[in-house]
Chains A and B, each alone.
Chain A
Amino acid sequence: MIGKCLGAQRCRKIHRTLRRCKVTVFCFVLTVVVLRGTIGAGKFGTPEQDFVEIRDHFYFRRRAGTHRVLEEVQTTSSDNEVASDTNAETNNYNDFELNKVLVDEESDDSKLDPDKPYSLGPKISDWDKQRSEWLKENPDYPNFIGPNKPRVLLVTGSSPKPCENPVGDHYLLKSTKNKIDYCRLHGIEIFYNMALLDAEMAGFWAKLPLIRTVLLSHPDVEFLWWMDSDAMFTDMAFEIPWERYKDSNLVMHGWNERVYDQKNWIGLNTGSFLLRNGQWALDLLDAWAPMGPKGKIRDEAGKVLTRELKNRPVFEADDQSAMVYLLATQREQWGDKVYLEHAYYLHGYWGLLVDRYEVMIETYHPGLGDHRWPLVTHFVGCKPCGKLGNYPVERCLKQMDRAFNFGDNQILQIYGFTQKSLASRRVKKVRNGSRNPIEVKDVLRSLHPAFKAVKVSSS
């Protein structure tokens, strides 16, 4: 048609140009598609998101509630827009992205003053006096609930956000059940923390502001027992020998030579320790905290620690290395009130213990707390809540299951059951129910040990 208007030669030229344009356009479209497939194009999304959207659209047609939800979420950021489409109105938990929903309405308006040195809180100098007065005025809340039994608060915690690893929360749940069981048997209260009290002391340092707050808010608590979320009780019958520590304020698992002489960064472990409530504890926390604040301070401190401590790898300052450094350099000030315990496993490194559980069951019995039947099995380095730990995932999870069952077995046996094996989740009866359950005296004795007895008032 065009040929008729312009002549054959011209026509051919135009045809050629058109063809070249077609190829150019084609290549351009191709580039755009490939880039979108690889990198994505912001709010225009990637082909994967298209796929998900189309699938959702065909499965769930109702979109009435979406608008209100979208409006609420839009106030935070536009990136959420695309994700909320996949979240909208689905009844299927597997399609859901929780992190897009858990956003705050109020923004963070607190500004950190970079020049002010970090402090955990206003300096208190007479905490012992304040506390003893309070205890006198409140005889219903004594700090000792038995002749040799102080009031203990076990403090542990985890992040308020879901774990990155899909099984992480399940293991946190099991670990919490394990702690509930031990603490119920031993008359210990639990505080499970899920709040970040101080953004500067995030990560492993988060325990410091928490411990200080708890000590000051619970004057009746005599000992605060910090325990990591990846530590489990494996000896349900062992009771901490409190009289041994009557002159100490801080009890940690460790060895004197390794801390004071060798300055070994794993000479002690801050995953499970006892801290007595008092002025000494507040002062220690103040001396311990300075290496903690996130950022330059923590990185620089990390370098100092790697230089000064034996075998420490290069990474930012952690609370454990900082404690070793503090004790090694200021021994005269703190050393006399610190008890480095190694007669039993207040902290037991899992690598040395988990393979021997069957041997222990055959040869020994609960109540020993040491290498024969460890009190605590601590899964250092496993990091079940995060994405990457220092050990293979399979070994960590399988062994955590075994440790949990090892501890749970002791509880179930009290009630007349046992796990079928350390790897199994099924239980079986070992003792048939009796017509007279109170005759099973041993059983009831384990459930009603002397240290749980209530003081009988002489009337």
Chain B
Amino acid sequence: MGQDSFTPQKRSSTGGGLPTTNNAAAGGGRSRVLAGMPRGRQIHKTFNNIKITILCGFVTILVLRGTIGVGNLGSSEADAVNQNLIEETSRILAEIRSDSDPTDPDEPPETEINPNTTYTLGPKISDWDQQRKVWLSENPEFPNFVNGKARILLVTGSPPNPCDNAIGDHYLLKAIKNKIDYCRLHGVEIVYNMAHLDKELAGYWAKLPLIRRLMLSHPEVEWIWWMDSDAFFTDMVFEIPLSKYDKYNLVVHGYPDLMFEQKSWIALNTGSFLFRNCQWSLDLLDAWAPMGPKGSIREEAGKVLTANLKGRPAFEADDQSALIYLLLSQKEMWMDKVFLENQYYLHGYWAGLVDRYEEMMEKYHPGLGDERWPFVTHFVGCKPCGSYGDYPVERCLRSMQRAFNFADNQVLKLYGFRHRGLLGPNIKRIRNETVTPLEIVDELDIRRSTHEKTETRS
């Protein structure tokens, strides 16, 4: 009985494109039909309409719940617990990221940066070479050369807050493991910085006050090696040929023609470079810092850099462009002590390297450091700690994982394992265990192969 009213409703809903005439007809038809029916039938019809309305409403809710969800209504106990946990973690995460300080209500407000006073990294030191020499002679048990090798301190770091997403932190962890491995094999100490030592020089500029502070606190260190958190060692055997740089104080990967002829903003890369611990370096840091202070100074400096360097997009001043600009404009003062290295990949731009790892494993061997087996693979532009990178996420993460496994294979070789593939986490045994493991250690330990090299050289 109720089906009578059902049909006209359906027709009007499906025939939505043809409004007036059909509706009028249907409506007219309906009113004609209704006028002729007794009361009981009318009530019955109304009931049916309501039934169908309720049924449709019910359907809509179910479908919406299936798509979007309606909170806790009807969810099971485990779901609720899970949901609570996720909410709590997200809330804590948001709190951590906002860096809200619950304590210190009575601390005076931060003093405003006065744009008129020139920014300095610290009080000017003029006799660092002398001071350092004196300290070294008074402390012979902390020499700057150990076993014929100059003492190197690798410095890297990341922001103190969690990354915008969990993947970023995971790759920071893998990157630091990678650096720990290389440094253990080559006797290099690591400093991992997670503090903003100077709030004016935040972001990529944070390395400047850090390097200065470490140079002054570690007079026994001969070279400070800054390395970005998104750079991976991919040649575990290669050692930096420090004797090549006896007359230089700054070693950075770059190309002279890009630098002096084209004035390109990517003529060198400050993601991986070495600074000698000496007066010259302190002076360079002081000359480098002025473009860094956050705010109007950095913005204005950015405009200057974009105007003067080829290919530079418009954004605030970054340390790399500033260094190029400094070395170009004050060439006579600094360039004689700067070595632009490109014989091996002190910094290796990832895009041209990661797809060739299989080919490298087939044809070459670790220890070369150049395009045949890159020393460092640097994931410029991937920015896994942020939300958005300059490249597709999938490509970046796959490539980073491949670089990590490629390097890890070289470490695991001593223990008789390697990764199953360059992407996955699993490993497999490549050598049966023996009861005389020391023969293998003699053959495979990377520390011993590099040690022999330095001995023959000296």
- Asked whether A169 lies within 8 Å of B169 as measured between CB atoms, the reply is yes
Q: B312 an interface residue at 8 Å Cβ cutoff?
A: no
- Asked whether A170 lies within 8 Å of B162 as measured between CB atoms, the reply is yes
Partner of B217 from A190, A435, A447 at Cβ < 8 Å: A447
User: Given the complex, which residues of B lie within 8 Å of A387, measured CB to CB?
Assistant: 82, 85
- Asked whether A160 lies within 8 Å of B433 as measured between CB atoms, the reply is no
Return A236 CB to nearest CB of chain B, in Å: 14
- Asked whether A162 lies within 8 Å of B393 as measured between CB atoms, the reply is no
Which parts of B335-374 form the interface with A (CB within 8 Å)? Answer: none
A22 to B180, CA, bound (A): 70
- Asked whether B392 lies within 8 Å of A91 as measured between CB atoms, the reply is yes
User: Given the complex, which residues of B lie within 8 Å of A424, measured CB to CB?
Assistant: 99, 101, 103-104
A190 to B10, CA, bound (A): 73
Q: A394 an interface residue at 8 Å Cβ cutoff?
A: yes
User: Given the complex, which residues of B lie within 8 Å of A219, measured CB to CB?
Assistant: 438, 441
Q: B194 an interface residue at 8 Å Cβ cutoff?
A: yes
A418 to B397, CA, bound (A): 35
Which parts of A411-455 form the interface with B (CB within 8 Å)? Answer: 412, 414-417, 420-421, 423-427, 432-438, 443-444, 447-448, 452-455
Q: Which of A120-128, A266-274, A290-298, A303-311 contacts B (4 or more CB under 8 A)?
A: A120-128
A298 to B370, CA, bound (A): 49
Q: B26 an interface residue at 8 Å Cβ cutoff?
A: no
Partner of A91 from B103, B220, B388 at Cβ < 8 Å: B388
Q: B43 an interface residue at 8 Å Cβ cutoff?
A: no
User: Given the complex, which residues of B lie within 8 Å of A417, measured CB to CB?
Assistant: 195, 197
- Asked whether A93 lies within 8 Å of B165 as measured between CB atoms, the reply is yes
User: Given the complex, which residues of A lie within 8 Å of B119, measured CB to CB?
Assistant: none
Q: Which of B138-146, B248-256, B261-269, B303-311 contacts A (4 or more CB under 8 A)?
A: B138-146
Q: A321 an interface residue at 8 Å Cβ cutoff?
A: no
**With A197-B427, A453-B141 in contact, do A96 and B397 touch (Cβ < 8 Å)?**
yes
Return A387 CB to nearest CB of chain B, in Å: 7
A401 to B162, CA, bound (A): 12
Which parts of B403-429 form the interface with A (CB within 8 Å)? Answer: 408, 412, 414-417, 419-421, 423-429
Which parts of A83-116 form the interface with B (CB within 8 Å)? Answer: 87-96, 98, 101-106, 108, 110
- Asked whether B92 lies within 8 Å of A91 as measured between CB atoms, the reply is no
User: Given the complex, which residues of B lie within 8 Å of A110, measured CB to CB?
Assistant: 428-429
**With A48-B67, A121-B433, A180-B190 in contact, do A106 and B420 touch (Cβ < 8 Å)?**
yes
Return A237 CB to nearest CB of chain B, in Å: 16
Q: A65 an interface residue at 8 Å Cβ cutoff?
A: yes
Q: Which of A33-41, A250-258, A365-373 contacts B (4 or more CB under 8 A)?
A: A33-41
Return A410 CB to nearest CB of chain B, in Å: 13
Find the residue from B195, B386, B397, B398 having the highest chain A CB count within 10 A: B195
- Asked whether A169 lies within 8 Å of B67 as measured between CB atoms, the reply is no
User: Given the complex, which residues of A lie within 8 Å of B220, measured CB to CB?
Assistant: 448
Partner of A93 from B3, B99, B393, B434 at Cβ < 8 Å: B393
Q: Which residue of A lies closest to B122 (CB)?
A: A433
A188 to B216, CA, bound (A): 23
Q: Which residue of B lies closest to A215 (CB)?
A: B437
- Asked whether B62 lies within 8 Å of A423 as measured between CB atoms, the reply is no
Interface string of B211-232 (1 = CB under 8 A from A): 0011011111000000000000
- Asked whether A92 lies within 8 Å of B63 as measured between CB atoms, the reply is no
A89 to B134, CA, bound (A): 58
- Asked whether B66 lies within 8 Å of A19 as measured between CB atoms, the reply is no
Q: B158 an interface residue at 8 Å Cβ cutoff?
A: yes
Q: Which residue of B lies closest to A412 (CB)?
A: B195
Interface size class of B (residues with CB under 8 A): 35 or more
Return B318 CB to nearest CB of chain A, in Å: 20
User: Given the complex, which residues of A lie within 8 Å of B177, measured CB to CB?
Assistant: 176, 192, 194
Q: Which of B32-40, B123-131, B324-332 contacts A (4 or more CB under 8 A)?
A: B123-131
**With A19-B7, A427-B197 in contact, do A195 and B408 touch (Cβ < 8 Å)?**
yes
**With A158-B173, A219-B441, A420-B104 in contact, do A37 and B62 touch (Cβ < 8 Å)?**
yes
A396 to B395, CA, bound (A): 35
Q: Which residue of A lies closest to B66 (CB)?
A: A37
Find the residue from B62, B139, B394, B451 having the highest chain A CB count within 10 A: B394
- Asked whether A122 lies within 8 Å of B3 as measured between CB atoms, the reply is no
Interface string of A16-49 (1 = CB under 8 A from B): 1001001000000010011011100000001110
Q: Which residue of B lies closest to A134 (CB)?
A: B438
- Asked whether A89 lies within 8 Å of B392 as measured between CB atoms, the reply is yes
- Asked whether A176 lies within 8 Å of B173 as measured between CB atoms, the reply is yes
Partner of A195 from B96, B158, B194, B427 at Cβ < 8 Å: B427
List the interface of chain A (C-beta within 8 A of B). Answer: 15-16, 19, 22, 30, 33-34, 36-38, 46-48, 50-51, 65, 69, 87-96, 98, 101-106, 108, 110, 121-124, 130-131, 134, 138, 140-141, 158-163, 165-170, 172-174, 176-177, 180-181, 184, 189-192, 194-197, 213-214, 216-219, 387-388, 393-394, 397-398, 401, 408, 412, 414-417, 420-421, 423-427, 432-438, 443-444, 447-448, 452-456
List the interface of chain B (C-beta within 8 A of A). Answer: 3, 6-7, 10, 59, 62-63, 65-68, 82, 85, 88-90, 92-93, 96, 99, 101-104, 107, 122-125, 131-132, 134-135, 139-143, 146-147, 158, 160-170, 172-174, 176-177, 180-181, 184, 189-192, 194-197, 199, 213-214, 216-220, 384, 386-395, 397-398, 401, 408, 412, 414-417, 419-421, 423-429, 433-438, 440-441, 445, 447-448, 451
- 7 contacts across the A-B interface (CB closer than 8 A): A98-B397, A101-B394, A167-B162, A173-B169, A194-B408, A217-B440, A435-B123
- The list of the 6 closest CB pairs from A to B, nearest first, reads A37-B66, A104-B424, A160-B425, A433-B122, A453-B141, A169-B169
